[in-house]
Chains A and B, each alone.
Chain A
Amino acid sequence: MDTIKILIVDDETEFGSTLAERLELRGFAAKAVSGAEEALTVLTSDWRPQVVLLDLMMPGIDGLTTLDLIKKHDPRIQVIILTGHGSTESGIIGMRRGLFDYLMKPVDIGELVSKIKEASTV
């Protein structure tokens, strides 16, 4: 089975890089970027992630717009929102736009891993 590639999009770079490192320790290939522009750059490169972990509140392009851009680029990519600024309304909007799931920070790594695996099999 191929290694699952995960792209972490979060303006909190400390969080993103640490999470990426932890996911790699669990056998995933993970990259962390700090915003939507960088994420789109990664998506257009050869490294295509199956799952994107996306923060909601980011400076510049926000999470929901980034979700639209990702889905527009490749609808097969599954996006999981991972945010500390969560609200049910934004979760519902995200679901309507093709969001796979919605998790609140701080998240349990076991729960996150199972969600990523679930998303990658879709």
Chain B
Amino acid sequence: MKDNSFGSLCPLFCGLHNKNLSTRERYRCMRNSMLIAMLAITLIPMAIISGINFVQYRQLLQNESYANARWSAESARATINAYLEKMEAAITVVLDSYTFEDLTDQQQLDQIFRRLKEEHQGLVDIGVIGSDGIQITYAGPYKLVGKNYNDSIWFHKALTRKIYVSEVFTGFRNFPHFVVAASKKGSASSQDSWVLRASIDSETLDHFLASVNTGALEDIFLVNDSNKLQSSSRYHGTVLEDFKLGNKPKQNDILISGEGSNGSFYRAVSRIPHTPWFLVLDHQGYAKRGDWHSFKRGLMLTLISCSLVLGCIIIWLSAFIAGKLREADEMREAMLSETEHTDKLASIGRLAAGVAHEINNPLAIIGEKAGLMQDLLEMDRDFRYREKFIDQLDSLQNAVGRARTITHRLLGFARRMETSLTLVHLNDIIREVISFLEKEAAYHNIHILLQLQKELPVIRADHGQLQQVLLNVINNAIDAISNAMVTTNNAMEAINNEGEIHITSSCDDNKTVMIAISDTGPGMSTETMKNIFEPFFTTKGNEEKKGTGLGLSITYGIVQKLGGKIEVNSEIGIGTTFIITFPVYSERSDGNGHN
């Protein structure tokens, strides 16, 4: 019969039908396939969901880091801008409030310088430079009167613009600074154009940039178009060192890009208006954030713990399901085997009945012919060979009688006999049967030991048939033990040998009554056990007790007819046990005695 249990489920279970594998291997293959399938079904979606969660949360943090970088850059730019505007305003006010003559007066310039220095942090000095680039007056710590700035780019740019902020450079002072310079047209009697210049220490820029630094900032500094640092950087060096800035934003844009490995920081670059500077701000990326690490830890922990728990459950579940399937298959195979056995017996029964019918007629003719010959011989007392003929005919009649017994038993097996069902107490029947057999058992030195459960529930069965069943089985047990004793070589051993037959009755579940008949005979092989209920199968080779091979097959038929079951367990050298069960009678039972 084709096994359809799993074949249609999935090619994964192909191993189950692989005939080259043993049953154990096939079920192991199925269990493993089921394990893999279930793990894939549960773990892959979980991994996908975790992945999506990971990406979404990272995106959220990235966006937040972007926004923070932009906000910090804007803030820093505004701070620098405000300072420069203030400085520019101060210079412009001085330029507008004082004449060239006023400012070229050293005392007056010193006074103005002192006032400006009080208000403006980082101011180093101020000076007035004529259109020829020569510094006319100077207020500050250095001696720079008469210095020529005609070669300085900032001077020429200052002349062409109303106000100008220079790059950071070292100049005559030999320390990094930048200038805020404004120019003014002079009167016809004096210089054509002159410049008021204020020098500011570049550390002032560091100071302002430091003021916008927050915990999330990695670095903040200024760089000019020529890729020279204009302020100190935490990671890229001090003022006027080289720093290559990549993409530069146009106008007032803020350019933000992810830098560093795995999003360790974001770089915001912004031009500071009206200056040659770019503000560069490195903002801490999501990868360095504590909440990102705790999120990753939590996610991994959840993933691993869920995987472990699911894995354990799935391993247990697949083993459990495979076990249950195996049990169900084995049970089905056992049932199939039992059905096949029953069908086989039924077929043999029908065949036996047919054979018996056909044999009965010629047997009857032989019997009648022999009988007639006997009758005639009885009348003729003078026949010379009369006695010899009578002996021969007696033998013939005996043979016919034996054949008749066999055919009638065969028919009995086939019909399973008509039953007359009554409520019977099994223990009573056991005792009745023992009373028939105890003498024979004693003759063979066999003890019959009873262990009968008190108040055993009644069953509905045919009294005579039950007697026949028990007689057949107990007789077989006596024969098995006595034959074993006879075949013992040692005579003394044979005399001392004792056999035992244990008969127990019980009812454990209130649904079935069980009788177990165990003997201490030689036991039988598995092959013998397989055929024991088949008609004409006999192990009694002894001429005196040669069996017809029908006893147990008739017993089997009767037990089946009464709704019971008969099983045999045997082990060579230990003995044989027949277990017969019948359903307990209850008022709800049907007419056949079946519950």
Q: Which residues of A come within 8 Å of B, CB atoms?
A: 12, 14-15, 18-19, 21-22, 25-26, 57, 83-88, 104-107, 109
Contacts and interface: CB of A to CB of B under 8 A. Distances in A.
Contacts of A12: 361, 364-365
A83 B360 CA distance: 8
Contacts of A57: 357
Contact of B365 (A15, A22, A87, A109): A15
B363 interface: yes
B400 A106 contact: yes
A14 B371 contact: no
Please name the 5 residue pairs, one residue from A and one from B, whose CB atoms are nearest each other, closest first: A84-B360, A105-B364, A106-B367, A106-B364, A18-B368
Contact of A22 (B358, B372, B415, B418): B372
Contacts of A86: 357, 411
A105 B375 contact: no
A15 to B, nearest CB: 5
B425 interface: no
Given A12-B365, A57-B357, A105-B364, 20 more contacts: A12-B364, A14-B369, A15-B365, A15-B368, A22-B372, A25-B376, A84-B359, A86-B357, A87-B411, A88-B415, A88-B417, A88-B418, A104-B360, A104-B404, A105-B363, A106-B360, A106-B363, A106-B367, A106-B404, A107-B364
A84 B357 contact: yes
B408 interface: yes
A85 B415 contact: no
Contacts of A83: 360
Contacts of B404: 104, 106
Contact of B364 (A15, A25, A87): A15
Contacts of B418: 88
Given A86-B411, A88-B418, A106 B375 contact: no
Classify the secondary structure of B's interface with A: helix
28 contacts: A12-B364, A15-B364, A18-B365, A18-B368, A18-B372, A19-B368, A21-B372, A22-B368, A22-B375, A25-B372, A25-B376, A57-B357, A83-B360, A84-B357, A84-B359, A85-B360, A87-B415, A88-B415, A104-B360, A104-B404, A104-B411, A105-B360, A106-B363, A106-B364, A106-B404, A107-B364, A107-B367, A109-B371
Select the residue from A15, A25, A57 with max chain B CB neighbours within 10 A. A15
B354 to A, nearest CB: 9
B47 to A, nearest CB: 73
Interface residues of B, number: 25
A105 B361 contact: yes
Interface string B371-414: 11001100100000000000000000000100010011001000
A104 B400 CA distance: 13
A20 to B, nearest CB: 10
Contacts of A107: 364, 367
Given A18-B369, A84-B364, A106-B368, A25 B411 contact: no
A22 B357 contact: no
B463 to A, nearest CB: 18
A19 B370 CA distance: 11
Contacts of A26: 375
Interface in B343-369: 357-361, 363-369
Contact of A15 (B361, B375, B376): B361
A84 B366 CA distance: 13
Nearest to A13: B365
B415 A14 contact: no
Contacts of A22: 368, 371-372, 375
Select the residue from B359, B366, B371, B418 with max chain A CB neighbours within 10 A. B371
B467 to A, nearest CB: 19
A84 B361 contact: yes
Contacts of B371: 18, 22, 109
A30 B192 CA distance: 177
Contacts of B375: 22, 25-26
Contacts of B360: 83-85, 104-106
B351 to A, nearest CB: 15
Contact of B408 (A14, A15, A87, A104): A104
Contacts of A85: 357, 360
A21 B367 CA distance: 13
A57 B353 CA distance: 15
